[in-house]
Structures are given as structure tokens and as C-alpha cells.
Structure 1
Amino acid sequence: MKLFRKQYSQPGTQPGVIHDEKKGELTLSLFDFNASQCVEKLNATAEQCATFLDSNNETWVHVQGDPDKDTFTQLAKDFGIHELFIEDVSNLGQRPKIDIQEEQIFMILTLPVQTELGVSLQQISLFLMKNTVVSFCGGKFNPFTTINNRLKLPTSRLRKRHIDFLFYSLIDTVIDWGFPVLEQYADRIDATEELLLENHDKDILQKIHLLRREVLLLRRQIWPHREMLNTLLRDDTSELIESDTKLFLRDCYDHSISILELTETYHEMANGLMELYMSVVSLKLNDVMRVLTIIATLFIPPTFVVGIYGMNFSRDAGPLNMPELYSPYGYLGVWAVMIFMIVGMLLFFKKHKWI
């Protein structure tokens, strides 16, 4: 799993400091719409987007990419975003959270995305203001292409409702991205379990450990989503979210609970795989030890017999000293006794189902 690591400032650093480490590409997309029309501007500038913020239409500005420090500062100034919020947006690795103010709602979400290299976690930042939504997404992957297409349809519900419904739609999209990722984990768990029952070498142990770690980290990142949505539903101080939209947010809240329950289930299943691996290895070791014990047990009586006849007592010292040594069938007799003892023990083990 590819994770972002939170960047920490030097102790005593002034609040609002933006780490100037990212100098990637930046794309601004603008949608200014109402029930009858939709203006779309791709590759727009911050100045062009700022001119639409005071319009009577609903406006959505999506920032895609990794701006540098100066660009972030300028965006915050043009969009009316507080420097503390833009610090959280810029410095990736923030814990999902929500900040509700009278004129602005700020949310940070974690977006899990399945890639060729595994699961990647992206930070999504959303700002809801009067008639305006501003979203930030790092990297090149845009998770809101479906929302873009829906806005272009004249019959879309997004065009007919207030901007808070678009805000809900963005949140719901981020939450729902967890379902296909969890399906991938379900397939990986099933495949690992089948492979474990067939083969239990150290490579399987490494796969199980990696799977447990990824599910645990995913659970930690998406766990706050439920509390955030619950806070947003219970808030009565802000008028930015209409009561009708809160009905849809409740459905989004249910989705977050479903994802959390699935994550918990898969985490327990991953732990179960580790226990199954230890059980399989233990059973294999027990089988090996049982075979070795049986072999050792079978040779203990013959070893005792051979040890007796290996004692060097002279026959000339007395008639009781190894009388079998002078018998023409003594050697064969000893072999017959040892074979009889081995066969007898095998039959005894078989009767008691030890072998």
C-alpha cells in the first residue's frame, strides 16, 4: 500500500507554514452552473475562477495536482481560504477531519484507489462556502470524473439543487471508492487462503503480513469518516447544509458504516489467515515429529538386544555367559526376535490409530 506520510513542522514554527517540497503539475477545473446552463472551463487560472465566485450561480472549482508554496498561497487568497486550512491541504498525511464554521465547512477525506502497484491513499480536501465548492486532490488521478459528466447533463439533479448537494455528491464519491478496493482485498484473502492450504512456505507468511498491514492502515484512515459525517448531520449552527441534503448524507453515513464493517471483517480474516498459517505449520511439524518418534521407538528394542549381545563376556568363564554365541542359529534367532518386536509394535500402533 502506498501511503502518504504526514509532514511535521519544526517545533516553534509559525502556524500556517506550507512545506515547499511539491512542485508538480496543477490543473484547475471550473463548473459554473444552474438549472438551465453549465459553464465549464478546463485548465483555468486562479484569477478566472475567482471571477465566478461572486456570481449568483453555483460554482465548483477543482484543483488537481501538487501546487508549490506560492501557488497554494495565491489560491487561498483568491478563494478566501484561511491559512491554517490551506496548510492542512498542502501538507499531506492529515487525519480525516471536519471544521464547521458559520460561512465555511472544511473537510479532509481519505480516498483509497486500487492501482497496479497496490492500494494508494490520496488526501481529498473539500471546502463548502455560499454557492461555492472548492476541492483539492493531489496526483494525476481525478476521482470526480463521474460528477463532471453528471453536471453536463441538463436533467441532472446536481444542476437543479443547491451547492450543498454537490458537496454531498463529492463526499459520497470518496466514500464509495472504498467498496471496489475492499472487493480487491476480499479476492486477495480468498486467493491467499487457497494458496496457504496448498503451500505454506515463508513467501505465504510475507503475503499474509503485508495483507494484514494494508487492511489495518486502511481501517485507520477511513475510521474517522463515520464520525465526520455524524458531526455534519448533527450540526445545527451552519446554514450551508439544507435539511433535504442531510437525508442524502445519512445514506452516505450508512455507506461509511458498511465500509468500516467490511474492513473490520477483512482485518479479522487476515488475522485468521495468520492463525491458519501457524496451525498448518504446527500440524506439519507434528506430523514430522510423529514419524521420527515412531522410527526411533521401533529401533529402541532392537538396539537394546544388540547392546546386550555386544557385551564382551568370555564363554570360557562360565556356561551362562552368552550361550547363544555357540548356537548354529543364534544369529538368525536374534534377527527373528528383533523383527518380531518391530512388527509387534507396528501392529500395536496401528490398533491404537497412532499411525
Structure 2
Amino acid sequence: MKKSKKSIREIRSGGAVKRPMKKSMKDMAGTVGKAPGTLFHTGGQKTVSPVITLFSYDAASVEHRTLKTLEECRPFMGGERVLWLNIDGLHKLKLIEAAGVMFNLHPLTLEDILHTGLRPKIEDFGSYLFVVVKTLELDPESGEVGEEQLSLVIGKGFVLSFREKPGPLFNPVIARLDNPGTNVRQRGADYLSYVLTDSVVDSYFTILEQFESRIEALDEELTDSVARDALPAMYLLKKELIMLRKSVWPLREIINSIGRSRYQVIDDEETRPFFRDIYDNIVLVIETVETYRDIVIGMYDTWLALANNRMNDIMKVLTIIATVFMPLSFIAGVYGMNFHYMPELESPFGYYAVLGVMGSIFVGMILFFRTRKWF
């Protein structure tokens, strides 16, 4: 039972701090009146300084560097090897602008990279494909789900990824790059974009697994008793599921577009089937989120029914007590009147007789209630 109560406290704390919608709307208000393509970072600074990481690889070898300046990337551009440039930290506008000039990115692409409250989307600029997705991270201590924006620029022979802060999301991808026998080393940049997107979707399953544990713990608590913390816990869990659905649902349209439509930078025969596989996983994630939300709503109905039943039981006991004492209070009130000439006042057995009558009434009413199965 201690485990269940701990889980409820985690659920209660989860989501209580972050409110992505309010934050993004407040930051987006700063772009009002600015010309399209104006670079303006919405969101807080989440890293001390941006971290630029470069991967250049082919089937024979891979080179992994942390760059001090973006200019160090130029020797790796335009060759036969696949280039993956990852930038963690979006608050340095000059760095993002320099990346746009170096890779010939449209100003609207740079603007969208810096606007971290965007809805997931896909845009085709001919020479490259721009994709915005949402990454989710679960804090194991507080149970809070944090949302970050990941922007991918997919071109011929290169992939650019822009994140708000560093994280372990791409560690499995880096491990696969270090292994010369993996498919990612044998294929092009479009396959790398698939692997990066697939790692994002896989992280959703990890969060869903944690949600399942929370729901089981909360359901166990509801089965035993009507927990006082259950209602806010269910409310916060439902809000987190809504946020998860909001992040995943647009990704379904994006991956379906890549898997079904034709883009210059995506190989139709080699890579598109892999994106269709991601689409199936996203559908599974969405269905799971919907199922969990229905379960939470059903748990709320159960909690409400249990709370009402408990309240009815309490009111039934109080009503029986009040009903039993009504005739007793009447008798006590009659004999509490200050009249001198009352028949039983002078009787030596009057007090005991009245107590006997009151006791008989009490027992009789209790037996009557029991025969009616009122309690």
C-alpha cells in the first residue's frame, strides 16, 4: 500500500509545474508585428551555451566531433559521406542564422526552428525537407513530463537537428553509428532521419509504460478505499495524457505524408517503407493514449461513485442516530418542563420508569430498522 500512495504523490506532482500551452502563447506574443522570417527565439535559455556535434560517416568509417565553431563543419560538406550536424541550444541567434546561410535554409525555416511552441509539422522546400516534432521526457523524481521541440532539416547527404537542450534521446542512434555493421552506416541521410524520428517515437513508449504503472497504482488505491489524493492525481494524469496526445497526433500526419508522398530527399524504394513502420507505431501510441485516457475517466467515475456511496453511508448512520433520539428528546423535553403539578414528579419510581420507557423505545426502533435492512 505504501507503493500505491507514493505513486499517487508522484502523479499529483507530475504536470503541476509545466504548462507548455501558457508558456508558448506568452512567448509567441513577442512575435506580433515582426516581419515573416525575423529571427526571434521563443522559450527560455535551457543550456549555458549551444553544443555543436558533428557526425560524418560512411560504410567504412565514422567521425564524431564536438565543434567549437560552425565553420569547422565546412570541410565535411558536399562529399560522399553522410553529414549529421546536431545543435543543442537555440538561444544564440547568430549561430542559427549562420547555419541557415551555410546550408542555404529559407528564413521561414530558421524562424520556425526558434519558435519552440510550434505544432509538429512538415514542409517541403525542394532541396530539403523541414520537420518539427515534439520530444517528451519523464522526470523520474517528480513524475513530470517535459516537452521539447526537435527540428530536423533533411537534405541530400546531410541531416540537421536542432534541440532546446542536450539529452540522452539520440544515444542509441550514436551507438548504432559506432557499429559498422548497422544499416544506418550503409544507407544515406534519409535513412538517418528515419532513425532519429524512430528514436523519438520509441521514447513515447517508455513514457506510456510509466503511465501504465501510475494508473495501476492509482486503481489499486481506489479499490482499497476512497483516497483523498486520488482526485487531483487523476486530474493531473489526465492533463498529461492530453499533452501527450497533442504532441503525438500531428506526428501521425507527418509520418504518413513522408511514407505516402514523394519528396526529392527521401528515397522512395529504400526509406519510405521504414517511415510507414513508424506510422504504425504512432497509431499504436495514439490508441494507447486514448485507452489510458478512457481508463482515467472511468476511474474518476468509480471514485465519484465510491465517494457518493461513502457519503450515503455516513448520512444513513447520522439519520438513524437522529431518528432514534427524536422520541427520546421529546420525552426528555416533556419532563424537563418546569411545572409543579406533574403526575410522575412525586413518584419514587418515576425516574427509572421514564428511563425504561426511553430504553424500550431505543431498542424497538433499532430492531425495526434492522428488520427493514436500513443498516
TM-score of the two chains, using structure 2 as the length reference: 0.85
Is 1:287 aligned to 2:307, yes or no? no
Q: Which residue is 2:4 aligned to? A: none
Matched with 2:203 is: 177
Does residue 145 (structure 1) correspond to residue 171 (structure 2)? The answer is: yes
Q: Kindly provide the CA deviation profile for residues 136-173 of structure 1, in whole angstroms up to 9, marking residues without a partner as x.
A: 11212141111111112111111112221111111111
1:331 paired to 2:351: yes
1:26 is aligned, of 31, 50, 59, to 50
Which residue is equivalent to 1:120?
146
**Per-residue Cα deviation, 1:210-261 (whole angstroms, up to 9, x for no partner):** 2222221121122111111112222135452323312111111111111111
Pick from 361, 365, 374: which aligns with 1:341?
361
Match of 1:133 among 147, 155, 159: 159
Give how far 1:309 is off.
4.0
Q: Indicate if the aligned counterparts of 1:101 and 1:238 stay in contact, CA closer than 8 A.
A: no
Q: Post-superposition shift, 1:89?
A: 1.0
SS of the equivalent of 1:177 reads helix
Alignment check: 8 A CA contact 1:28 1:62 kept? yes
* Aligned counterpart, 2:122: 98
* DSSP 3-state at the match of 1:102: coil
Q: Residues 89-141 of structure 1: CA distance to partner in whole angstroms, max 9, x if unpaired?
A: 11212111111232211111111112234221111111111111111112121
User: Is the contact between residue 164 and residue 242 of structure 1 (CA under 8 Å) also seen in structure 2?
Assistant: no
**SS of the residue aligned with 2:303?**
helix
SS of alignment partner, residue 139 of structure 1 = coil
What corresponds to 2:374 in structure 1? 354
Matched-pair contact (CA < 8 Å) for 1:24–1:66: no
Query: In structure 2, do the counterparts of structure 1 residues 234 and 70 end up closer, same or farther at CA, with 3 Å as the change threshold?
Result: same
Distance in 2 (CA, whole Å) between partners of 1:163 and 1:59 is: 7
Instruction: Tell me which amino acid in the other structure corresponds to 1:79.
Output: F
Compared with structure 1, are the counterparts of its residues 154 and 345 closer, same or farther at alpha carbon in structure 2 (3 Å cutoff)? Answer: same
Amino acid at match of 2:163: C
Distance (whole Å) between structure 1 residues aligned to residue 296 and residue 72 of structure 2:
50
Task: Give the structure 1 partner of residue 69 of structure 2.
Answer: 45
Q: Which is higher, the Rg of structure 1 or of structure 2?
A: 1
One-letter amino acid of the structure 1 residue matched with residue 85 of structure 2: V
> Is the 1:29–1:62 contact (alpha carbons within 8 Å) kept by the matching residues of 2?
yes
Over 3 Å counting, the alpha-carbon distance change for 1:154 and 1:241 in structure 2 is same
**1:266 matches 2:266:** no
AA matched with 2:191: F
Q: In 1, Cα distance between the equivalents of 2:242 and 2:87?
A: 30
- C-alpha distance in structure 2 between counterparts of 1:267 and 1:43, whole Å: 44
SS in structure 2 of the partner of residue 42 of structure 1: strand
How far apart, CA to CA, are the structure 2 residues paired with 1:42 and 1:247? 33
Deviation, structure 1 residue 205: 2.9
How many residues are aligned here? 349
Q: 1:80 aligns with which of 76, 98, 104?
A: 104
Letter in 2 for 1:39: E
Task: Tell me the SS of whatever aligns to 2:271.
Answer: helix
For structure 1, the residue ranges without an aligned partner over 5 or more in a row are: 316-321
Q: In structure 2, give the amino acid aligned to 1:102.
A: G
Measure how far apart 1:14 and its partner are: 0.7
Q: TM-score, normalised by structure 1?
A: 0.90
Cα distance change on mapping 1:10 and 1:35 into 2, 3 Å: closer
- What's the C-alpha RMSD, in Å, of the aligned pairs? 2.3
C-alpha offsets along residues 167-196 of structure 1, whole Å, 9 cap, x if unaligned?
A: 111111111100111111111222233334
Q: Does 1:214 align with 2:240?
A: yes
Q: Which one scores higher on RCO, CA 8 angstroms, separation ≥ 6?
A: 2
How far off is 1:42 after superposition? 2.6
> Does residue 265 of structure 2 align to residue 244 of structure 1?
no
Using the TM superposition, name which of 297-306 and 256-265 deviates more. 297-306
Any gaps of 5 or more consecutive residues in structure 2?
1-14
For 1:110 and 1:95, the matched residues in 2 are separated by 8
Is the Cα–Cα contact under 8 Å of residues 90 and 162 in structure 2 kept in the other structure?
no
Question: Which residue of 2 is the match for residue 319 of structure 1?
Answer: none
Separation in 1, partners of 2:357, 2:312: 31
Greater shift in the superposed pair: 197-206 or 215-224 = 197-206
Partner residue in 1 for 2:9: none
Measure, in 1, the Cα distance between the counterparts of 2:64 and 2:357.
98
Structure 2 residue matching 1:244: 3-state secondary structure: coil
Amino acid paired to 2:49: E
